[in-house]
Amino acid sequence: MATIAQELAASQDADLLKRAIQAAQRQRIPNAQYSVEANIGLLVSLPAGAGSTQTIADEHAYAVTEHARAVAALDEAQAELNAKRAALASPGADPARVTDEYIMHAIGVLFKAPNAEETTTVGE
C-alpha cells in the first residue's frame, strides 16, 4: 500500500494527470478534466487493475524509483565519458598522433637544418 507521501507525489504528477484526463475523455466521462482534477487524490489510491492489490500510487512510486535508478546509471556513464573526453589530448598536443620526429623532420626541411634529409623546402 502506498504511503500518503507517495499518493501525494502521484496526484501532483502533471504528466500522470494529463494521461488520466485523456483516459476519462476516451471513456466519454462528462466534464472529464474537472472530474479527474477534482478526484485525482482518490484516483491514485484505487487499484491499478481488476483484482490488483497495487494502486496507481504504488505503480507510480515504483516508476519513480526505477526512473531515479536509470538517471543515476546514465549520470555515472556520462561522468565516465566526460573523464575520458577530458583525458583526450588535442590533436596538436598528442605526440602519438603528430610525433616529435615528424615535427623535427618538417622543421629541418623547412629551414634546411644540418641534420635534415635532403628535400625541397617551402618557397623553392
Domain that holds residue 46: 4-88
Q: By the 8 A CB rule, do 95 and 83 touch?
A: no
pTM for this prediction? 0.69
Residue 113 resides in a domain: no
Question: Which grid cell is 83?
Answer: 573523464
Give how many domains the chain has, as a whole number.
1
Domain-located, residue 61: yes
The answer to whether residue 97 sits within a structural domain is no
Domain assignment present for residue 76? The answer is: yes
Q: What is the pLDDT of residues 40-98, one digit of tens each?
A: 999 999 999 999 999 999 999 999 999 999 999 999 999 999 999 999 888 898 888 89
H helix runs in 12-55, sequence order = 14-26, 32-43
| Residue 109 resides in a domain | no
Q: Is 15 domain-assigned?
A: yes
Q: Name the region of 117 (left: φ>0; alpha: ψ -120 to 50; beta: rest).
A: beta
